[in-house]
Structure 1
Amino acid sequence: SLPLALELVDNQDSMNVDELCEHLTQIAKQTCVVWRQVATAEEDF
C-alpha cells in the first residue's frame, strides 16, 4: 500500500539498512500469508 511505502521512506533516516531490510522482510512475509489465504479461499468456491 502507498501509505506504508511513504512511511518507510520517512523512516529511512532513522533506520539502518539491516533494520530496513528486516522490516521489509516481515511485511513481505505477512503479505504472502494473506495472499495464500485469499488464494486458498478462492479455490474453495
Structure 2
Amino acid sequence: MKKNIFSLDNKVIVVTGGTGVLGGHFVNAIVQAGGIAIILGLNE
C-alpha cells in the first residue's frame, strides 16, 4: 500500500497566531487532514 506523505494522522501541530483569520484556516486544514491542533494566540 502506498503511504500518503502528506498525512497528518495522529500528529500534534502547534499553531501560533491561531486566533486570527489565517490561523483559523490553518487549524481547520490540520484537523481535516487528521492532525491534532494546539492553538496559541492573543486577542487584545
Q: Give the TM-score normalised by structure 2.
A: 0.39
Q: Give the TM-score normalised by structure 1.
A: 0.38
Greater RCO between the two (CA within 8 Å, min separation 6)? 2
**Whose helix proportion is higher, 1 or 2?**
1
Higher-Rg structure is 1
